[in-house]
Amino acid sequence: MPDLFAPYDLHGLALPNRIAMSAMTRTRASETGVPTDLMRDYYVQRASAGLIVTECTQVSEQGHGIIRCPGIHTADQIAGWRKVTDAVHDAGGRIYVQLWHCGRVAHPEMRGGEPPVGPSPLPAEGDFFLPRGRVEFPTPRPLELEEIAPIVEDFAQATRNAREAGFDGVELHGANGYLQDQFLQDGSNHRSDAYGGGVANRARLMIETAEAMIAAWSAERVGIRLSPSSSLYGMKDSDPRETFGHLVSTLDALEIGYITLLEPNAKDAKKGVQIEHVVETLGPLTSRPLIVNTGFDKAKGNEAIASGFVNLVAYGVPYIANPDLVERFRADAALNKPDPETFYGEGPTGYTDYPAMANETTR
């Protein structure tokens, strides 16, 4: 029976283990979205993962929604990522880039005064971090119908750029309350045109984006990340089982390369999520490789692999503090304690200075 350390063939990409590094925003790119040498070092440190998925990476300037977030839509951004992928491959790793549009989760002050866009004039819940402090989310400008096709093309072009930058594949960020997720769920999508109303219309942007990315590369090299039970930024749906069931079944028909499903976190659970066990509910609807994420340790990860539904387990916060997470799990070694104060920021502190087992010291 396979476990976390068993190899896996991801459509011809040989993974030495089933431990994936989850996509995580870390805000270490340049102000213009160019990946830095520090980012290169960070990913190289974690190259023993079966698969690395990068932080969310904007496909256009309109999609820019996080301070010091990398992009992949300009020549210098592509060149910066090429340094990262070359170094990760030299270290024996495999790396996908997560492609992303922030939608309504942004603020005009970091966008030259331009308001964020979304499916409907409904602001995200919570607050947004600016250098001057936290502020409320503004009401987004609803996208006009003719603006949607160019956004889909942005994802297709970003996929082509990812190939040029040397990535092994791409992941569509369809989770966590960003643009495609905003269109999908009826709590944020009140449109009455071809992209609103029933579930097939609300899923249209997600599906069209996935199709365009597949056409730009291949189905085997395109994955997708979904969060059916996340309440982040006020996301909600009146019938998530129907909505996400339709989406997963449609993605299965596209023969997408993999589907990452996020289980609810503790905050979501307190809010009474409607899909408590995401993989058990949605996993039977697809034959595509499944990656599961959120709240897993080594034991739970092995249980997930043994269930037969799950092919890889993605780890987020444990990978922040433990660049050699695979080796620590294999040795049943203690894990470094992460410092949430340095999850986002600048410089190496809390980013590339966590020790490996071989040279462990007190931070």
pLDDT in tens, 234-275: 999 999 999 999 999 999 999 999 999 999 887 776 566 678
Query: Per-residue confidence at 309, pLDDT binned at 50, 70, 90?
Result: confident
CATH number of 56-309: 3.20.20.70
Contacts of 209-214 spanning 24+ positions with Cβ under 8 A: 209/151, 209/152, 209/155, 209/172, 209/174, 209/180, 210/172, 210/251, 210/254, 210/256, 211/254, 212/152, 212/153, 212/155, 212/156, 212/159, 213/99, 213/155, 213/156, 213/159, 213/170, 213/172, 214/254, 214/256
Q: Which of 178, 189, 216, 29 is nearest to 101 (CA)?
A: 178
Task: Give the pLDDT score at 267.
Answer: 74
Instruction: Show Cβ contacts of residue 91 under 8 Å, excluding neighbours closer than 6 positions.
Output: 44, 47
Residue 175 has pLDDT above 90, yes or no: yes
CA–CA dist 351, 336 (Å, integer): 13
Residue 81 has pLDDT above 90, yes or no: yes
Task: Give the pLDDT score at 273.
Answer: 67
Q: Exactly one of 178, 233, 319, 351 is catalytic; which is it?
A: 178
More confident residue, 294 or 269: 294
Residue 160 has pLDDT above 60, yes or no: yes
Task: Give the pLDDT score at 363.
Answer: 43
- Domain spans of the chain, in order of start: 56-309
Q: Is 178 a catalytic residue?
A: yes
Instruction: Show Cβ contacts of residue 210 under 8 Å, excluding neighbours closer than 6 positions.
Output: 172, 222, 224, 251, 254, 256
Cβ 333 vs Cβ 29: under 8 Å: no
CA–CA dist 292, 134 (Å, integer): 31
Tell me if the pTM is above 0.85: yes
Angle at 258 between CA 253 and CA 264, to 5 degrees: 105
Number of helices (H), then strands (E), in the chain: 12, 14
